[in-house]
Amino acid sequence: MRDRLILLPGWGLGSSPLQPLADALRGLDPRLHVEIEPLPQLSSSNPADWLDELDANLPQDAWLGGWSLGGMLAAELAARRGERCSGLLTLASNLRFVAEPSWPDAMAAETFAAFRQGCAMDAAITLKRFSLLCTQGATDARALSRQLLSAAPQLEPSVLLAGLDILAALDTRVALQAFVGPQLHLFAGQDALVPENTAQALLTLLPDVEIGLIDGVGHAFALERPHEIAMAIQAFLHEADDD
């Protein structure tokens, strides 16, 4: 099913940040079936539980992709499915969201711990702060942030906290190395959450995958530059199909 692409959203903000990209992809190729699958609303902090639910709900043999946390989950699911996944694409997704000595190009552990504590105390204020971080580096960051917040779903605090725990637990390096299908990883040049150096670190780890860096955009670049990203994805899909 190389004509089907499933996109997974990031933490806390729902599907709306990916909707303009999905629309742009459909406009470029009406034969491409693009679906945005909401993340599981689980209070479990075990990544396997989230992957089990996604695996049960998503069609087989489709392309898997996602933004931020969604891209990390897509990478793990692609590795799990192997040949039953047509290919993988990620948008502003780090291989580890929280830094450790073997992967320093990520958010400092102390910063993440403070962010999680803030979410436990007041989820609404934390989501507002997160939306501002997502749009930092954008042309009109505050307007884009308000757009993200206004469309965000009302999630239980336990689900938000579990999502942060999943974000901290995932390390997709083994999954990306194990998945032999085509891979495209796009990064944002002004990303406040995923360091620019992540792109080079990934290329060092996996020199044969496709990597792109879009300058002048922040973490929510799929909302800011949907047509540019859609064209990059479409070109990659066509190239992979030719292979």
The residues annotated with a catalytic role in the active site are 68, 191, 219
State the sign of the Cα–Cα–Cα–Cα dihedral 66, 23, 37, 111: positive
Nearest-5° angle of CA 88, CA 185, CA 61? 5
Question: What is the token pair recorded at 29?
Answer: 């190729």
For 201, residues 6+ apart whose C-beta sits below 8 A from its C-beta are: 95, 103, 105
- DSSP-derived 3-state class of residue 107: strand
Q: What is the distance between the alpha carbons of residues 218 and 98, in angstroms, rounded to a whole number?
A: 18
- Walk across the sheet containing 210-214 and list its strands: 33-36, 4-8, 63-67, 87-91, 183-188, 210-214
- Considering only CA atoms, which of 152, 199, 159, 212 is closest in space to residue 18? 152
